């Protein structure tokens, strides 16, 4: 683990002289092919999906029970009995769709609908059957066809919602958000970096080469990498390259510290998650301050989650609000985290005394 107060140097990218245009177009084709794969409509393996499905089914059950009973006590009793059938049936359907998402994702639409509705009927029968094991009154007074038909109908509604959710992850607006975030490696940063390299060519050629290698890797990722997710370790390496370049530009005005947990590096995150956060830290915390400041990146793990923290000193001695941005990068990072991890991801950003801190939590898969 790197010691706080130091800036680890990432491994060098391949020699740029070997990076031909053929390689660029090959990688563009591979990225486009990977980005075009549709998410599975059977992907029910998320806490948010499970919670919404259970609430939806029980809401429908509660509404239907209200049409057949006259008073509150009878409604509560009947709803409790119906929920004893609905809850295990719903959870069983979610588990089966999650387990079968890969083989069914490539099937035709009629087969997918048949499988989803058929599993719903089967799970409805399972819910009715298991309450018979404890001899609940609902088992004796309800025909087995009722839970089968109800399970099939509710499964159709849930599957339709899952299809809409899967399609919502690939519209043009989502791709535009990612492109907008990738373009946050601003043109003037390119010009500043090239000027830094030019100034170093005569006095320190090796450092100039290092700057250009880091710059090439940054733009390779920004222009080519468009997959749905990367590891946190890859994002950290990219952020290290970015801050290594900025440290050459700002010199002693920029102090960078890293406190990294290798176990957190396996977490999957959207591409270009960290780079915009550290760029914001430099742009709004270091650049406006005559005395400079510091940027700290920390990662850790806790109960199956990866914790990411990016903090920076806030510029002092400048007019209030003069360093405030439009929040585009923060909003896009938050939105892409929501699309990828749903309710299992957490994102917060804001000032804490004289420090600006961004805190991200993602699941460790």
Terminal-residue alpha carbon distance, the chain: 22
3-state helix, strand, coil in the chain (%, to 5): 60, 10, 25
Among residues 120, 137, 168, which one ends one of the domains?
168
Beta-strand pair 346-352/355-363:
antiparallel
Decide if 285 is inside a domain: yes
Same domain, 145 and 208: no
Q: Taking Cα atoms as reference points, which of 219, 296, 206 lies closest to residue 254?
A: 296
- CA distances for 53 relative to 116, 131, 169, 219, angstroms: 14, 21, 19, 42
Chain center to CA of 93: 25
Chain center to CA of 33: 20
Same domain, 216 and 329: yes
The encoded tokens of residue 359 equal 């805190």
Q: What is the pLDDT of residue 19?
A: 35
Q: What is the pLDDT of residue 102?
A: 84
Same domain, 356 and 335: yes
Q: What is the pLDDT of residue 172?
A: 53
Same domain, 146 and 64: yes
CA–CA dist 46, 347 (Å, integer) = 17
Among residues 114, 138, 168, which one ends one of the domains?
168
For residue 233, give the CATH number of its domain: 3.30.565.10
Same domain, 181 and 326: yes
Same domain, 159 and 177: no
Same domain, 243 and 128: no
Same domain, 147 and 175: no
Decide if 163 is inside a domain: yes
Same domain, 195 and 343: yes
Residue 295 has phi, psi (to 5 degrees) of: -130, 135
Contact 267, 364 (CB under 8 A): yes
CA–CA dist 243, 206 (Å, integer) = 18
Q: What is the pLDDT of residue 344?
A: 86
Residues of the domain holding 329: 171-363
Chain center to CA of 277: 15
Decide if 29 is inside a domain: no
Total Cβ atoms within 10 A of residue 307: 17
Which DSSP category does 287 fall into? T
Q: What is the pLDDT of residue 17?
A: 35
Decide if 24 is inside a domain: no
Decide if 254 is inside a domain: yes
Q: What is the pLDDT of residue 207?
A: 81
Q: What is the pLDDT of residue 174?
A: 56
Same domain, 330 and 186: yes
Model confidence pTM above 0.75: no
Question: Cα 17–22–25 angle (5° rounding)?
Answer: 120
Decide if 284 is inside a domain: yes
CA–CA dist 158, 113 (Å, integer) = 11
Beta-strand pair 230-231/305-313:
unpaired
Q: What is the pLDDT of residue 128?
A: 84
The encoded tokens of residue 244 equal 């290594």
Which DSSP category does 15 fall into? P
Q: What is the pLDDT of residue 117?
A: 93
Same domain, 137 and 106: yes
Contact 61, 75 (CB under 8 A): no
* Strand extents, DSSP E, the chain: 230-231, 254-259, 268-269, 293-302, 305-313, 346-352, 355-363
The sheet that has 355-363: what strands, in order across it? 254-259, 293-302, 305-313, 355-363, 346-352
Q: What's the total number of domains in the chain?
A: 2
Decide if 13 is inside a domain: no
Among residues 168, 197, 213, which one ends one of the domains?
168
Contact 298, 335 (CB under 8 A): no
Same domain, 227 and 333: yes
Q: What is the DSSP string of 37-65?
A: PPPPTT---SHHHHHHHHHHHHHHHHHHH
Q: What is the pLDDT of residue 221?
A: 67
Decide if 41 is inside a domain: no
**Which residues, given as ranges, of the chain have pLDDT below 50?**
1-6, 11-37, 320, 322
């Amino acid at each position: 683990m790197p010691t706080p107060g130091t800036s680890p140097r990432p491994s060098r990218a391949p020699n740029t002289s070997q990076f031909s245009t053929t390689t660029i177009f090959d990688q563009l084709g591979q990225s486009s092919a990977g980005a075009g794969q549709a998410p599975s409509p059977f992907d029910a393996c998320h806490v948010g999906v499970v919670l919404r499905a259970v609430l939806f089914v029980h809401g429908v059950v509660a509404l239907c029970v209200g049409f057949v009973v006259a008073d509150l006590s009878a409604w509560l009793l009947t709803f409790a009995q119906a929920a004893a059938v609905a809850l295990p049936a719903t959870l069983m359907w979610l588990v089966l769709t999650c387990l079968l998402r890969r083989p069914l994702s490539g099937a035709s639409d009629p087969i997918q609908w048949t499988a989803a509705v058929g599993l719903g009927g089967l799970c409805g029968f399972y819910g009715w059957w298991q309450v018979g094991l404890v001899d609940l009154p609902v088992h004796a007074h309800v025909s087995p066809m009722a839970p089968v038909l109800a399970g099939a109908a509710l499964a159709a509604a849930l599957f339709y919602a899952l299809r809409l959710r899967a399609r919502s992850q690939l519209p043009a607006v989502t791709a535009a958000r990612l492109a907008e975030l990738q373009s946050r490696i601003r043109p003037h940063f390119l010009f500043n970096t090239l000027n830094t390299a030019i100034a170093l060519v005569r006095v320190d050629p090796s450092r100039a080469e290092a700057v250009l290698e880091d710059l090439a890797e940054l733009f390779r990722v920004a222009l080519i990498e468009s997959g749905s997710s990367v590891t946190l370790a890859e994002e950290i390496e990219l952020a290290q390259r970015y801050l290594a370049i900025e440290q050459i530009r700002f010199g002693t005005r920029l102090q960078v510290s890293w406190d990294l947990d290798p176990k957190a590096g396996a977490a999957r995150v959207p591409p270009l998650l960290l780079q915009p956060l550290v760029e914001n830290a430099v742009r709004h915390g270091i650049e406006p301050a005559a005395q400079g400041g510091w940027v700290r990146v920390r990662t850790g793990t806790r109960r199956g989650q990866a914790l990411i923290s990016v903090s920076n000193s806030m510029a002092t001695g400048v007019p209030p609000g003069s360093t405030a941005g439009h929040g585009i990068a923060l909003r896009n990072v938050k939105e892409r985290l929501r699309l990828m991890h749903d309710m299992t991801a957490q994102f917060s950003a804001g000032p804490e005394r004289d420090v600006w801190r961004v805190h991200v939590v993602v699941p460790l898969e």
